[in-house]
Structure 1
Amino acid sequence: MVRLSAQLGELRAQRRAQLADNDQLVAFEEEAMTQRRKRKQAEQDNQVLKHALFQQTAFLGGMRALMGGSGMPTYKTMEFHDWVHSYTALASRDALARRKEYVAHFPPSKMELANKLVLKNTDEDTQRLLAVGDVYSGKVKLLHDGTRDAIELNAGYTDAMMHELFGHPNADASDPCSTDEAGDGRVIKEFSSVFLFRETPECTLDTLIDLVFTSMRAIGVYYPGSVYQSRTVDEVFQDEDDGATKSRVFYTNLAASMEPVLEIVDETREADEIKVESRVLTREMRNQDGGLILWDYVDGDSLHPMPVYVPGCKTIRRNVCGGMVIRREPGTGMFSVRHTSIKSYCPLDQPTNTTVAASTPDAEEARRAVSRRIGLQATEYERIKDRCTRYVFNDIMRRLSALHVS
């Protein structure tokens, strides 16, 4: 350190000698170097703090739900969202600074936690498929239906319970059933799936990872429709220090139409065209042991802000937090593609510090159209439970068939 300081002093002296007649320029250059060092140190501190905040958020969220006074059974396992999602507001507008924020959103601890959660949540289905010889399993579970009054949902889930899971600190914790959480207009669903593929000379682990990554980018991580695809706005390629792990982090700005998939009840609803807005960060990671995809929604973005509610606007917000693991199942000669995700649909946020305009017939119809579409999301899980996951499985199989893999 002493030697480096001496060298730095010599370089500064040489620079002053070169610019002996311009003391102001020399002072400016030294100030610029000082600011660069401070900025680099601040970036490093920011990454450490984000990592610590993620760990604290996961722990406190789980403890709040497990120990809250909502009557929730103590054996309840926390949902994927509660452990993995960390509040993210992208504040930078500079391209380089934004890419650093993308990478910082997926620390190694979050990737490891997501991998373990996906494996844990899908282990029972995987063992069942291996035992009976099937290759596909897909499930959808409704966690919260805020499109109707407070009701008891399947498997003992209640709106009060989901209020505790996705808690709002300003609510009255002493009487969770008295809140308006049941009619908040949100629908939250959990998707899980397991796909099995036999290992062959043509179907290797690397080949399957390539196909899964390509399939997920092609159809999007949201919904199996050509009008509802994710669109990558920016991406970062990254090689880890171990030399074997390669990653791709990309930012998705989704603004697409969403068509109802159930039969139309009356002719007037056929014209409903609902727009969907979402901001999502995704990381694809691969090494010699397998692959992992983790996607997590962005809560706020200064460069691509989410729209706010205005009368007559037919737009809903779509949040998704999930993971997909591709790996070899030991001793079975099979590869598995396991997936768990939490997806929510909700109305746009109300604008702050604005007066509410008088409702017009068109604005009221738009509001009802949005409510109908979100309501359909609550009923679709009963009618077509595996539509989304089955579409992904079929797309991967089609790509395998195109490679002449049996």
Structure 2
Amino acid sequence: MPRPALTAAALAVLVLPLAAGCVANEPAASAADGTDGASDGVLTVDSSATDCAVSATEAPSGTLTFSVTNSGDDITEFYLLGEDGLRVISEVENIGPGLTRDLVVQARPGSYFTACKPGMVGDGIRAEFTVTDSGAEVGPTGDTAEQLATAEASYVAYVKDQVASLVTGTQAFADAYVAGDDEAARQLYAPTRVHWERVEPVAESFGDLDPLLDLREADLEEGQAWSGWHYVEKDLWAPAPEDNGGVAYTPLTPEQRQAAAADLVRYTQQLADQVNAEDFTFEAFQIANGAKELLDEVAGGKVTGEEEIWSHTDLWDFEANVDGAWVAVEVLRDVAEAEDAELVATLDERFAALRTLLAEQGSVDTGFPTYDALAQDDIKALAAAVDAVSEPLSQLTATITGAA
């Protein structure tokens, strides 16, 4: 089946011939079993309502696999966080009760935190985690290193391109919103958010930026200040009392609008500053994990209609998440195909089927119907197609890191 077409911008950044440093692609060296180390780079995690029990408090540097089992009653997430407790090294989302999902990372020596988020809210149940120096370099080597370095550079270029468009679109949206031109702001809302949704795993890696820009009201904790896109969304598509806790919605004042718009612009510029910093990179394992995160975003919010609960513009987000995941597969294609050609063929086929279903509804360029207008049969078909892509996509990180 032919590969889905990429946008011109995506194709342009996929061929940038840049180089990066080369590191080793071997699984982490073995250490003694128990609380002081991992065996063969594999750690088990038991996520319950009250605990995040990791089988070891440290592991040698290299390729690590966290095998996360949800023994609780709510959907959970698992994170490996940087030393500051904010930067997300990588994550695995949407782990349903009774399910096990693997998170594969290539970890350098240093101090980290592990975190489980039962119910997918709050800061999570955290513990310190140490990666000791195994003596081996971390990451790919040889031909694989060169290919993955090119993949990383191409993906970073794609991210910069999307964030640049996001900055421009956000300013135009903010201007219309502050001016009280609600119709123009509504028209700009979904097309601008597309650029965010395509690269959201990168924004999530910077810690607080994601909740500052994209937190839903349903995920607010008591006393937490609310900002970002969905805060403004609610004001532009004011809910009826029955959809607002039984009380009439109070529109934001002009001063509150100006503050909300200024926050959107400021936090978006912070994202742009981060991705354009000289030392910014996004490693191959993060790209692969990010692709799966994007499909989890679809399954956890877009398919259910919970992401854009007032505007019902979920299909724009849906397609953008699929776009971002597909670009990740494309930049990693050469290495993945060399390791497991059958996996790549399966991904090609299932992405194509999913994108065909989306195209039946519309496109980012031509527009989509609101999500509440979709027939239940269409929603079920889209959900099934997402699940069909998610299963092989979950194997991509292990394939390109050699952990499979």
TM-score w.r.t. length of structure 1? 0.25
Higher helix share: 2
Question: Which has more radius of gyration?
Answer: 1
